[in-house]
Amino acid sequence: MTSRQRALPLLLLLTTLCGQGSLLCPAGCHCAWDSGTVSCTNAGLQEIPASIPRDTVTLHLDGNQISTVRDGAFKNLPRLRELDLSRNRIESLSPGAFRHLSPELKLLDLSDNQLQLASKEDLGPTRAKTRLHHNPWHCSCALQELIETVNLDPETVSGIVCESSAQGPQHSGQPLVKLLDEGVNFCSLQRKTTDVAMLVTMLGWFSMVIAYVVYYVRQNQAEARRHLEYLKSLPSPLKEASVEADTLSTGL
């Protein structure tokens, strides 16, 4: 057997091991390579695994103890179509948490978590069907803009309930979509507040300008008075000529 023939099985073994290394399944999860499904349901995870296979199509992370979604957690999953993060303890979303989601994503499930605040920037440009129900939402302009922007699962919209509200306790326990249908606008109050703040700022600047102008005029007036008094204190040529004439006439 030649050296080349002896090296061939070794090369095949290395290729196989490298291929398996690129498909390593995260600890505590089950991976079905033929369907691209990674199931980490009820795996006791406290954070999103960093070693999710690149070819993952369906990712189940539901039923764990994940409390936050870090920036770029899913940026290396170009084939991802379903992402289930339901039944966790997620309280916050990093600004870039879903920025790099695959455009192929069809379902994003964030239901049954501890989310209170979220904005349209948090979910990025995804057009996936999104589930946000059963979270202790604080209803505000940011949440209103979010649900008006994302592609919500129609069957779960009524489950987005205000646990608290930017407009007072009277909205507590009511579905957000119901309040919006009744004409409640959480963004109008924010815009009014912004307008008032801008008006106060403008008035402040205007007052400063007026005060400066008044100070400048008064300073100039004082300078003008001092200059006039100085001129008055100078000897007058006509006065001196009159004195000299009187002296001459007296001498004569």
Which tens digits make up the pLDDT trace of 87-135? Answer: 999 999 988 789 889 999 999 999 999 999 999 988 888 999 999 999 9
pLDDT category, 80, cuts 50, 70, 90?
very high
In this prediction, residues 190-214 reach a mean pLDDT of 59
pLDDT score of 13 more than 50: no
SS3 109: strand
Pick among 2.40.30.10, 3.20.20.70, 3.80.10.10, 3.90.650.10: CATH of 30-185 = 3.80.10.10
Say if strands 30-32 and 37-39 run parallel, antiparallel, or are unpaired.
antiparallel
- Of residues 140 and 244, which shows the higher confidence score? 140
- Of residues 224 and 199, which shows the higher confidence score? 224
Task: Encode pLDDT of 141-190 as tens digits.
Answer: 999 999 999 999 999 999 999 999 988 888 999 999 999 999 999 998 65
Structure tokens at 208: 């400063």
- The pLDDT of residue 251: 53
Say if strands 129-131 and 37-39 run parallel, antiparallel, or are unpaired.
unpaired
For the chain, percent of residues with pLDDT exceeding 90:
53
H runs (alpha helix) in 24-159: 120-123, 141-149
Q: Which one, of 85, 40, 94, lies nearest residue 66 by Cα?
A: 85
DSSP of 53-67, one letter per residue?
-TT-SEEE--SS---
pLDDT score of 223 more than 90: no
